[in-house]
A and B are shown apart, each in its own frame.
Chain A
Amino acid sequence: GAGVSQSPSNKVTEKGKDVELRCDPISGHTALYWYRQRLGQGLEFLIYFQGNSAPDKSGLPSDRFSAERTGESVSTLTIQRTQQEDSAVYLCASSLVGAGGYTFGSGTRLTVV
């Protein structure tokens, strides 16, 4: 596609429920990244996929968080047993490795009530 597409754009969920967030990267971009941005805060790295290599999961805050990516296409970020502190905007980005900056999606605003 022309840009990085994320869905849903907004998600309100009850505490304890599981949620799944989707990212569709720019076609041909081999690298895909997930970040979390709490209100008024910076971008916190979560996980990074590059081709068929093992993902870099070093930023996942707990075992309630997981992500998958099939090949060089869509990725899903899953948060199990959501907590109020999970409320944030989850941003996905893609890039060509070595080519420089990312292109970000519009994000999914997650609210846990």
Chain B
Amino acid sequence: GENVEQHPSTLSVQEGDSAVIKCTYSDSASNYFPWYKQELGKRPQLIIDIRSNVGEKKDQRIAVTLNKTAKHFSLHITETQPEDSAVYFCAASAYNQGGKLIFGQGTELSVKP
């Protein structure tokens, strides 16, 4: 089955710097890659996603890139702000698995003012 590895487990940046979180996946049939943000004590919230027919997607300060050949995808946050501090999870799914998401272990991002 699918296995998703996420790095780093913790990341600390200064406000205004960029943050990058990387994930690799094992199942070449995976074709959908969302990213979730989870603030302390709250539910995970979808922040951006990408499908396998696209190499990059941007939404304001957030971007995701996908390299299907290497089976890895990354989240980029620019001009970080203290409110970006949270745990971020990547995930992968294959349509033939019914959309079941397999999650990475999470990255705790801390943005210092």
B is a partner of A = yes
- Give the size of the chain B interface in residues (CB under 8 angstroms): 24
Contact partners of B103 in chain A: CB under 8 A: 35, 42-45
Q: Does B78 contact A (CB under 8 A)?
A: no
A100/B32 contact (C-beta < 8 A), A48-B98, A107-B43 known: yes
Q: How far is the CA of A50 from the CA of B93 in the complex (A)?
A: 15
- Against A, the Cβ 8 Å flags (1 = close, 0 = not) of B27-53 are 000001010100000111110010000
Please list the residues of chain B having a beta carbon within 8 angstroms of any beta carbon in chain A.
1, 6, 32, 34, 36, 42-46, 49, 89, 91, 95, 97-106
By a beta-carbon cutoff of 8 Å, the part of chain A in contact with chain B is 31, 33, 35, 41-45, 48, 50, 53, 56, 58, 91, 95, 97-98, 100-107
For the complex of A and B, list the 7 residue pairs with the smallest distance between their C-beta atoms, beginning with the closest.
A101-B46, A42-B105, A43-B103, A104-B43, A101-B34, A48-B100, A42-B106
